[in-house]
Structure 1
């Protein structure tokens, strides 16, 4: 009986050791066969290439008549900002997810001069103003390594504004208190030079 138990115990240990050894060998061989060029593709760029980035132009590049549907901020209980910069009450949202063109556009009502707003939808709408393009390009250029990962996945002005206006760990202290009442910033918390 003890012999059977001991034999079974040793057999399990040998099988597990073989599996571990084979896995370790596979990992080492795979690692050695990866070319050094592969590691270069894993590095983040020092400057983000947004050559195909779509900005809203002052001529209204995203014209209301050319578009069947809009993207919008979705999350607001009362207000919604669409990807053309219009803000409307959630009840006034059209069937195509757009705010009507008679609504307010590029509204910066609750925003201060530093680009920080009390209301998320105001932040997104204000950020979409074509006159903010140079400021936002500066923000993209000064992005920290953490934000470079996020910004690399952004393709247009609206997506940038959605991402920048969300509150982040930079806008809270002690994980439960906002640093300032204007917590939604399309710039950084401090002024850009």
Structure 2
């Protein structure tokens, strides 16, 4: 059985240990003369540069800011690569992220779509249809009278095949103008971009894109949101400030290696 003397001795020992630890922390926090001198010299040097060499100061702060921003964007880029949900093989749709089987006819399925098109809409399954054929669910309808196409690249320059591809028709265009995968309209651009075989090309876009355009696409949760952001914000179709490379192909989602990324 523990006696009162033993309890008092244990309490005294604990108090002594606490005092020693506090004293050690105080010694560590107490600035030494040498450390204080170095801190003062560094502060004076920074003040001198800031007051008398403003251009150098701006360069230094720019380096620090740009390095921190680059590190942050690289971290976001790696997260985006892991988290973006991709379309699977044609005919197999993802069950999460809003991508679902079927056409919304049973009223239980919902689709996101490109909303803003005056006459055409692309939904998050890769279908393009007339606005009149969009169901209350937001999906392109599947009725017999519905005109819709999935993963269509009609009116797109895809790689070096000119207008159209194995997934779409259209008049041929010179291969020299196919520096980027561009389409005539936003909805077709989104649908073509959502093809399952575009995943590797889109991952390269994530890896090589810089600046404000990268910020616009890093928040994408799935291939639909990524393609919508790319087709909407792309500057790949612009040659000069207000001049398009091709007046008929203003919406681009992939740029190839023979061009610099904007």
Q: State if a TM-score over 0.5 links the two structures.
A: yes
Aligned to 1:56: 87
Q: Secondary structure at the match of 2:129?
A: strand
**Gap regions ≥5 residues in structure 2:** 1-66, 160-180
Contact 1:116 1:183 in 2 (8 A): yes
Matches within 5 A, 1:17-166: 43-46=71-74, 48-49=77-78, 50=80, 51-58=82-89, 59-61=92-94, 62-65=99-102, 68-101=109-142, 103-114=148-159, 115-166=181-232
Partner secondary structure for residue 156 of structure 2: coil
The alignment yields a C-alpha RMSD, in angstroms, of 2.6
Q: Which has the higher contact order (CA 8 A, sep 6+)?
A: 1
1:40 Cα deviation from its structure 2 partner:
5.1
Q: Which residue of 1 aligns with 2:253?
A: 186
Cα deviation, 1:61-106, whole Å, max 9, x if unaligned, reads 2333496211111111111000000011000111111002463100
CA distance in 2, matches of 1:97, 1:161: 18
Q: Is the 8 A contact 2:100 2:109 kept in 1?
A: no
> CA–CA distance in 2 between the matches of 1:68 and 1:137?
29
Q: Which has the larger radius of gyration?
A: 2
Q: How many pairs are equivalent?
A: 154
CA 1:142–1:101 in structure 2 vs 1: closer, same or farther (change >3 Å)? farther
Separation (CA, whole Å) in 1 of partners of 2:142 and 2:201: 26
TM-score relative to the length of structure 2: 0.52
* 3-state SS of 1:187 partner: strand
Partners of 2:213 and 2:233 lie apart in 1 by: 13
Of stretches 122-131 and 63-72 in structure 1, the one that deviates more from structure 2 is: 63-72
CA distance in 2, matches of 1:111, 1:69: 28
Structure 1 residues not aligned, in runs of 5+: 1-38
